[in-house]
Amino acid sequence: MASLVITANRLGDAVLSTGVIDHLITTGRGPLTVACGPVPTSLFEGVPGIARVITVHKLSWSRHWLTLWAGTVQQPWDTVVDLRGSALAWVLRARHRRVWRAGSGHRVAEMARVIGVTPPPAPRVTPLPITPPAMPLLGLGPTANFRGKQWPTDRFIALARALLAGPLAGAKVAVFAAPSERAQAAAVLSAFPDALDLIDTGNLRLVAGWLAACRLFIGNDSGLMHLAAAAGAPTLGLFGPSPDALYRPWGDHTSFVRTPEPSEALWQRRKAEPRFEGHMMDSLTVAAAHAEAIDLLARTG
């Protein structure tokens, strides 16, 4: 009997749910139907064990839940896993129901808790094959869905140049971003004219293929950061206003560095200054990020 997983609209949370989805497949709860938002849809299409992907387009007055119910109510399910914490699982025919309840741990651990699994299964994506260049790749993700989470672009450039002059000499820069974020990434592309432009790559599993080919990926807290980690790339996440305890990249091949101030202090500053338009990441230095990158390269060599 088939199972249904309702996962996120946003790429990052959808990627973090892939460990749970993979566990359900490998333990015989498939074939799975996965319901998610438009952005992460290609992450699940064509993955062995996933028979169907339902793209949930958000509608006013939460009518998208009614649409999803209409598309799933006729099917008797073995298990419904609702990682959105909605009421949908309770109005479908299912032998087992597992529904998200917010906790205080990392999102990977909290999602695993929904299905009662310890240790948490790591996020895992199935990349599409690519043909990478002969030289190593230094992946950069200089964008984010919120300006406050973006490390200043000039520091991304300075960090990349320092790494290319040192442990990654001879490497080629690869720039990753969502198609709508091209303007945010333009300065990084201009700084490295021979960089691989992987902004309009399209299919997320193809993006994962390029990320998996990176010797190192450095990015703001974003869906691309989580995708890089799930693809197996050594991943350094840059944090400021978002809590690293909940969203740091997952896995022994990852690390993170954050602003000296905790996220709560940065938000208090923003509230105290109504016209504050800074990145909220200004206090994170190139030296701090460089030191963490060197350590991660050594650990994953």
Taking only the tens place, the pLDDT of each residue in 188-219 is: 999 999 999 999 888 999 999 999 999 999 99
Q: In what order do the strands lie in the sheet with 235-239?
A: 196-198, 172-176, 137-141, 214-220, 235-239, 254-258
- Percent of the chain at pLDDT > 90 equals 90
User: Can you tell me whether residue 51 is helix, strand or coil?
Assistant: strand
The predicted-structure confidence for 101-145, as pLDDT tens digits, reads as follows 988 999 999 999 999 999 999 999 999 999 999 999 999 999 998
Domain span(s) for CATH 3.40.50.2000 in the chain: 3-114, 137-299
Tokens of 77: 């399910």
Q: How would you class 176 by CB atoms within 10 Å of its CB: exposed for 0-12, middle for 13-18, buried for 19 or more?
A: buried
**Helix ranges (DSSP H) in 73-220:** 107-114, 153-164, 182-191, 204-212
DSSP E strands, the chain: 3-6, 32-36, 50-55, 77-82, 94-99, 137-141, 172-176, 196-198, 214-220, 235-239, 254-258
The predicted-structure confidence for 52-108, as pLDDT tens digits, reads as follows 999 999 999 999 999 999 999 999 999 999 999 999 999 999 999 999 998 899 999
The predicted-structure confidence for 271-294, as pLDDT tens digits, reads as follows 887 666 667 999 999 999 999 999
Fold that domain 3-114 belongs to in CATH:
Rossmann fold (3.40.50)
Q: Which pLDDT score, from 0 to 100, does residue 276 have?
A: 66
Q: Which pLDDT score, from 0 to 100, does residue 102 have?
A: 87
Residue predicted with more confidence, 146 or 83: 83
pTM: 0.96
Q: pLDDT averaged over the chain?
A: 95
> What is the crossing angle of helices 153-164 and 286-299, to 10°?
40
Tokens of 61: 């007055």
Classify domain 137-299 by CATH architecture.
3-Layer(aba) Sandwich (3.40)
Q: Please tell me the distance from the alpha carbon of residue 149 to that of residue 135, in angstroms, as a whole number.
A: 30
